[in-house]
Chains A and B, each alone.
Chain A
Amino acid sequence: MQVKILIVDDSLMDRKLLMNVLRKNGVSSEFLEAVDGEEGIKMLSNNYQEIGLILLDWQMPKMDGIAFMKGVLQVPEVSSIPIIMITASSSPENKKFAHEVNPKLAGYIVKPFRPDTLLETVRPLIES
C-alpha cells in the first residue's frame, strides 16, 4: 500500500515537480495539495489517518512552514508524521532554526533540488 503524501507549498510548479518525481519513481501516487499552512492544517485534520509524510515549504502566505510545524507539534495525533522541509531558504542558520523548531524534522531540502536528493530523503521514511 502506498503512503499518502501531503504537499504544502504555494508554488504550483513545485508541487507538480514533487508529484512528478515521486510518481515516476514509484514512491507514491497519492497526494494531497495545500497552498499554505492554514490549508495544510485543515487537510491534515481531515485526513491525518491516511497521511504518512508531509513535504513542507517555508515561505507561504497566511501561515508559513514554521508556524505550520509549531501547530502540528502541539497535536499528538499528527506530531509523529514525518515532515521534510523543502525551501529556497538555503543558509545553515535557516536549517538550524527549522531543526530547533522541530527537532524531529526528517529532512531539509533546498530548492531547486535534484530528483535524487528528494528520493534519497523520502525513500527511507516511506519504507519505514
Chain B
Amino acid sequence: MAHQPDDLYLQALCLAEVILRTFEHQGKLDVSSKPIPRLRPIVQSNQRMKIMSLDKFDGTTYIGTINFFKDQEDLKAKKAVGALIVYIGDKYIVDLFNQMGYPGLDESNDEELQDAVGTFCNIIAGKFKLALTQLGFIELEMSHFSTYRDAVKDGIPFDYRQSRKYEITFEIDEGKALVVELTMGPVPKVEAA
C-alpha cells in the first residue's frame, strides 16, 4: 500500500489529542494553548535519528523514547517503523508528575527524573497505538522505554527512509512544559493489512 502523505499529520494530531486527554483525565492539568504539530526535518547519522534538546528547553532536559514496530517479527528484528520522543525540562518535571498522581518524585535524583519521563512516554505510547487503531491503522507493537539526559549521543532507531517528523509543544500555566516528537513510516490500514 502506498504511503499516504497526510498520515503523519493525522497521527501527530492523534498524539496531541491523546496527551491532552491524559492530562485532563489523570492530572486535571490545563494546557494553556492548543498544541499544534509543526513539521521539522530529521537529522540522521548512520540511519539513526539524532536527538538533541538544545532548542527545546533552557537547562537540563530529560528525554524518553519509544519505538513502534509493524509486528512482532519487526520488533524482534529491531526494524522500527516509528519513534516517539518526549522532552521535559527539569523545571517542570516534578510538578507535572505530582499532578499526575505519582508520589514523591525526588528532584535531586537524576535517575528518578529520567525514569519519570520514560514512564510518561510509555503511558502515552500505549494510548497512542490504541488511538491509531481507531483511525483505521493496524495495531503497532511498541518497545520498552529508554531514557536520556539532554541528548542521545548515538541517536535512536527509526524508519531511516523518513526525512520529517512532527514536533508538538504543550504549555501549562503559560510555560513550555513538554515537547514531543513523532516520526512514522508507512503504517498499513486494517483493511489492507
Contacts and interface: CB of A to CB of B under 8 A. Distances in A.
A17 interface: yes
A32 B127 CA distance: 28
B111 interface: yes
Given A12-B111, A13-B102, A13-B116, A59 B142 contact: yes
B41 interface: no
Interface stretch (B6-14, B117-125, B150-158, B173-181): B117-125
Contacts of A123: none
A91 B129 contact: yes
Contacts of B115: 11-13
Interface residues of A, number: 22
B144 interface: yes
A38 interface: no
Nearest to B133: A91
Contact of A90 (B103, B116, B118, B127): B127
A17 B112 CA distance: 13
A16 B102 contact: yes
B103 A112 contact: no
Contacts of A59: 122, 142-145
Interface residues of B, number: 28
Interface in B92-130: 97, 100-105, 111-112, 115-116, 118-119, 122-123, 125-127, 129-130
Nearest to B146: A61
B139 interface: yes
Given A11-B115, A61-B144, A111-B123, A17 B102 contact: yes
Specify which of B100, B103, B116 lies most central, judged by the most chain A CB atoms within 10 Å of its CB. B103
B112 A110 contact: no
A13 B126 contact: no
Nearest to B109: A12
